Structure 1
Amino acid sequence: MGTWGSGNFDDDTAADHLSGLTARLVREVEDAMAGDPVELEPDEYWGVAVPCNLEILHVLAGRGWVGVQLPEAATVEAWKATYLGVWDATIDDLEPGPEYKTQRRAELERTFDQLAEAIRAE
């Protein structure tokens, strides 16, 4: 295909780069979901980084660039169940305020749901 436009993501090399980048983000989430659930707790690295990766993937999905590699929507839904299961079981240990707890959970649900919806819309 070569080059199809003048944009930064309008050629094969950029598509390859984007494919590798998005594959890494997905792989990190896959590894976190398959790993020790303790690592998904709200105050642990992957408890914070997983939603960040999903948000980045959603932004990239919305751009329509060639090369964005996304998981299946059903995979994202399974990740949501796993992640929120850990979150629900452990968030009270951190003694969050009720408003934060409600708002944060809604934000986490939105993060998973919007990516799954974007994937379905492709």
Structure 2
Amino acid sequence: MGTWGAGNFDSDTAADHLVVLVDRLVTEVTEAMAGDPVELEPDEYWGVTVPCNLELLLVLARQGWVGVTLPSPEAIRTWQQTFLAVWERTIDDLEPEPAYKVERRAVLNETFEHLAEASAAAR
């Protein structure tokens, strides 16, 4: 096994671990996007955790560690369209404050956009 530094992620084993972790995050998002759109609604599990997974992927990608490979920018933008269509269609049912709705929409868009940009930069 190769080790190239003293850091926690500076070895083949650590890189293999990151591959498994990233694959899990990507698989969960992929499956959520392909599943029942109701599950993506803002008050449902995947409606909350999909953006969390995306943010975690972005954090990992920004570290530059071996073993972190992002989906294509096109796949991420397709996810963005799917997710935000559900969000826009259902958020008003929860009667959010107008300011929250504006802020949350911006955060969601930024999350997808930043991840797509990181994916494009890594290619």
Fold conserved between structures, TM > 0.5: yes
TM-score w.r.t. the length of structure 2 is 0.98
Aligned residue pair count: 122
Q: Percent identity?
A: 67
**Aligned Cα RMSD in Å?**
0.7
Shift of 1:70: 1.2
Q: Secondary structure at the match of 1:68?
A: coil
Give 2:111's aligned residue. 111
Matched, 1:20 2:20: yes
Q: Within 2, Cα distance between the matches of 1:22 and 1:91?
A: 29
Shift of 1:117: 0.4
> 1:116 is matched by which residue type in structure 2?
A
Could you list the structure 1 runs, at least 4 aligned residues long, displaced by more than 3 angstroms after superposition: none
Give 2:57's aligned residue. 57
Alignment of 1:22-41 (within 5 A): 22-41=22-41
Q: Within 2, Cα distance between the matches of 1:80 and 1:93?
A: 20
- The answer to whether the 8 A contact 1:25-1:53 is kept is yes
> 1:119 is matched by which residue type in structure 2?
S
